[in-house]
Amino acid sequence: MREILGRRRRLGRRGGSARLDAALTCATEWQWPVVPGAGLRGAGGRGDRGCACPDPECAVPGAHPFDPGLLAATTDARMVRWWWTNRPAAPVLLATGGRAPCALSLPAAAGAGALAALDRAGLRPGPVVATPTRWALLVAPYTLERLGELLYAQDWVPSSLRFHGEGGYVVLPPSEIGTGQVCWERAPERATGPRPKRASSSGAATSGGVPWLPDVGAVLDALVEASASAPDGGSRLAY
């Protein structure tokens, strides 16, 4: 399985151009619906780390939909190009659920432990998005009924573990949010070929192919175990 990141563009094109490229890749090559995030105050997301939304106490600065809302998420290339041409610093948000990937996220401190456990078990994780505070593992779409069955089988599910299904979202690389840069801890990869090494690029793939995604049941146990010892920040746990 070769990395779909393929020919990586020089990060001299980072910033607005890289985010537009990433959004177009997600929308047109992978058919993942995207929408721009609220972003940060200040030109290009620099300066003030506060959220550009009206809430002065926003718990997830920059890393949430605002205008347009999440329901506007689309795979239409013209709309995506218009959004990021007008707001080049906007984070790239994936609208999860439906036919798009879902995700499970956990505190960053627990993320490395979860990935190590999956590797030791010989289980293949899919794309992993890393922010300074949380990691998100993208998985194949799941229904609430399926998720409910899996959670019922667990003795206990820590509240630090979050589920991003229908009506949810995940911020994607190479976005910048209030807590810092978003990158791929594990890059999206094709369904066939040799297993890739850990990704270091913050951008999206630039070559064709739809990313492989694991079933949620294949990774849930490792994430629950890793999250059990992670700090529980309740509803205001930073993204």
Task: Give the model confidence (pLDDT) of 134-185 as tens digits.
Answer: 999 999 999 999 999 999 998 888 888 999 999 999 999 999 999 999 999 9
Predicted pLDDT of residue 230: 59
Task: Give the model confidence (pLDDT) of 225-234 as tens digits.
Answer: 887 765 554 3
Residue positions counted in the chain: 239
* Strands (E) located in 6-64: 34-36
pLDDT band at 222 (very low <50, low <70, confident <90, very high): confident
Helix (H, G, I), strand (E, B) or coil at 176: strand
Cα angle vertex 53, ends 52, 59, to 5°? 100
Predicted pLDDT of residue 100: 96
In whole angstroms, what is the distance from residue 202 CA to residue 190 CA? 18
Instruction: Say how many C-beta atoms besides its own lie within 10 A of residue 224's C-beta.
Output: 21
* Mean per-residue pLDDT, 103-125: 90
Token couple for 160: 């630090």
Query: Of 15-19, 71-75, 116-120, 193-197, where does mean pLDDT reach its minimum?
Result: 193-197
Nearest CA-CA partner of 172 in 212, 126, 127: 127
Task: Give the model confidence (pLDDT) of 98-111 as tens digits.
Answer: 999 999 999 998 88
Residue pair 223/137 in contact (Cβ under 8 Å)? The answer is yes
Please tell me the pTM assigned to this model: 0.82
Question: What are the residue ranges spanned by the domains of the chain?
Answer: 11-236
Predicted pLDDT of residue 229: 65
Predicted pLDDT of residue 49: 76
- Contacting residues for 145 by C-beta, under 8 A, at least 6 apart: none
Instruction: Say how many C-beta atoms besides its own lie within 10 A of residue 134's C-beta.
Output: 27
Question: Which residues, in sequence order, are bridge partners of residue 95?
Answer: 169
